[in-house]
Amino acid sequence: MKKLLVFLFILLAAFITKAQVNVLQIDAVGGKTQINKNIYGQFAEHLGRCIYDGIWVGKDSPIPNVNGYRKDLLEALQALKVPVLRWPGGCFADTYHWKNGIGALNERPKIKNVFWGGTVEDNSFGTHEFLNLCELLGCDPYISANVGSGTVGEMVDWIEYMTSDDNVPMANLRKKNGREKPWNVKFIGIGNESWGCGGDMTPEFYADLMRQYSNYAKMYGGDKFDRIGCGSNGSDFNWTKVLMEKGRNNMDGLSLHYYTIAGEGWNNKSSATNFGEELYFNGLKKALYMDELVSRHSAIMDQYDKDKRVPLLVDEWGIWTDVEPGTNPGHLFQQNSMRDALIASSTLDILNRHCDRVKMANIAQIVNVLQSMILTKGNQMVLTPTYHVFKMYNVHQDAILLPSSLFTEKYKHGEDEIPAISSTTSVDKNGKIHVTISNVNPTKEIKLEINLSGKAITKINSATILTASAFNSVNTFEKPETIAPVAFKNAKKLGDSKLEVTIPGKSIVALELE
């Protein structure tokens, strides 16, 4: 019976698309897989002004703060419903020795950030500051352990310091430093980018090292947290193969890193704001490569893990452009445009579709670095277009993905083309259906017909749109509201189970249906 219903659903969708090009056919009762809230995770590295000035200003700062954390940033991130936050890196993680970041602030040794601009940091933001931040945000901590220049013993001490309630030296040291109860650390990364800045290792060497570190992490941490193996750099499928062959039983997740480069390559990434339609199109097309990457890495993982016990975690992703003129090249400060908002929505759609295997993702990064949620300057703060996408999309967190078929026209540029429409549909625990839709064509308004099978639409509870006058429009400190969500008026019911939505060019729409 189920096979017959699926066949009829596909047949109906195919019939509909003959009459209209742009159709979203949704099975409103057939959802089974949960979209893990951690797909909407964030990443904070000691890089540029992410930690210092972005998150942490200190208790004595004239900038309004809560125990040293920027008050405006805290409130913005609480509204975003951040589910998980990764720290302290990134490349920085494999030079970080955690004991330098505990105890009295004025007694902590300084450290030179050798990866990111040679900045000297005072270590005033360390383990307590990070884990207390996670508690303030109500999110799970994801700690990246130092495998590149650290030791197993150093990692074990850190695990005991953070998670143990036994009468042992590290737990007692934590109590002496003002924290009586252990923190609830949910994820431990066994190194970061071990194929590159984390040690320049071969997959075989790293797999053996990961097994060693993971063994001791399990021994001292038990089942308190998941151990995350360092995964592939983009399309290095052999890395995934070797890690699954040699280490699948020694990890509880495997990472993947992929950055969108709209320009010609790492040495010519292109401007974050000064670009035309060629780079607009290239950025979107490169972002869509995430679908192939996740599919191919998942297929390799399926060969060794058919039950999908080991999830795939895309714990670094986003668009990487040239830094803003006049800023330190090693601080990776870039602006954030309407194009980047569409890259975010399209990528989240891909990750949502793969939620049977993908259980976490962490956009890089949360503030003042790469594709940020937030930009700060002194006592000013700007919410980026990408921030607004994450807030519009947080309705999908822990919701059930609804099966859908999307038939869309193409957005053509020159001799190349990509789908004009991207979408995610889910149903939350209260039975409300959420539909998010992106139209990446920068100039063409598109009518999309939405059909639900298995359930009638009684009303449209809410409708929101994010768009801009130009695809390279940005929010600035002088004009922070240039791109912001507003009420959407162009969605109408055509029947008990049918909607018509007219989506302007370069825009993102969020609907809540009941």
Query: What is the 3-class SS of 384-396, one letter each residue?
Result: CHHHHHHHHHHHH
Active site residue 415: no
Q: Please indicate, yes or no, whether residues 353 and 390 belong to a single structural domain of this protein.
A: yes
SS3 74: helix
Which one of 193, 264, 278, 292 is the catalytic residue? 193
Domain final residue pick, 401, 436, 463: 401
How far apart are the C-alpha atoms of 257 and 247, rounded to whole Å? Answer: 19
pLDDT at 134: 98
Residue 494 confidence (pLDDT): 85
Output the domain CATH number for residue 462: 2.60.40.1180
The pLDDT tens digits of the residues spanning 25-55 come to 999 999 999 999 999 999 999 999 999 999 9
Instruction: Note whether 409 and 21 are within 8 A (CB).
Output: yes
Q: What is the pLDDT of residues 158-198, one digit of tens each?
A: 999 999 999 999 999 999 999 999 999 999 999 999 999 99
Hey, which bits of 235-387 come out as E strands? 253-260, 312-319, 358-364, 374-377, 380-383
Claim to verify: residue 395 and residue 439 sit in the same structural domain: no
Q: Is the pLDDT of residue 11 over 80?
A: no
Same structural domain, 328 and 460: no
Residues 325 and 231 in one domain: yes
For residue 430, name the pLDDT band (cuts at 50, 70, 90). very high
Last residue within a domain, chosen from 401, 426, 443: 401
Average pLDDT of the segment spanning 9-34: 73
Q: What is the predicted pLDDT for the residue at 20?
A: 55
Query: Token match 């040291």: residue?
Result: 173
Q: How far is residue 6's CA from residue 23's CA, in Å, rounded to a whole number? A: 17
Determine what percent of the chain is predicted with pLDDT higher than 70: 96
Cα dihedral sign, 219-222-223-227: negative
Do 49 and 95 lie in a common domain?
Answer: yes
Do 234 and 290 lie in one domain? The reply is: yes
User: Rounded distance, CA 273 to CA 270, Å?
Assistant: 9
Whether pLDDT at 12 is above 90: no
Same domain, 26 and 99: no
The predicted pLDDT at position 350 comes to: 98
pLDDT surpassing 80 at residue 469: yes
Same domain, 363 and 409: no
Looking up residue 339, the CATH number of its domain turns out to be 3.20.20.80
pTM of the complete model: 0.93
pLDDT surpasses 90 at 231: yes
Mean pLDDT for the stretch of residues 477-486: 97
In this structure, the answer to whether residues 355 and 226 fall within a common structural domain is: yes
CB 254 within 8 A of CB 301: yes
pLDDT confidence of residue 461: 94
CA atoms within 13 A on the CB side of 478: 0
Q: Quick one: 391 and 457 in the same domain?
A: no
Number of domains in the chain: 2
Same domain, 436 and 374: no
138 & 218 share domain: yes
Using the 3D structure, point to which of 356, 371, 401 is the last residue of a domain.
401
- Of residues 253, 210, 289, 284, the one with CA closest to residue 84: 253
The single residue of 45, 316, 409, 417 carrying the catalytic annotation is 316
| pLDDT bracket for residue 18 (50, 70, 90) | very low
Range(s) of the domain holding residue 287: 37-401
Question: Has 193 been annotated as catalytic?
Answer: yes
Edge-to-edge strand list for the sheet holding 433-439: 400-401, 421-427, 433-439, 507-513, 460-467, 486-487
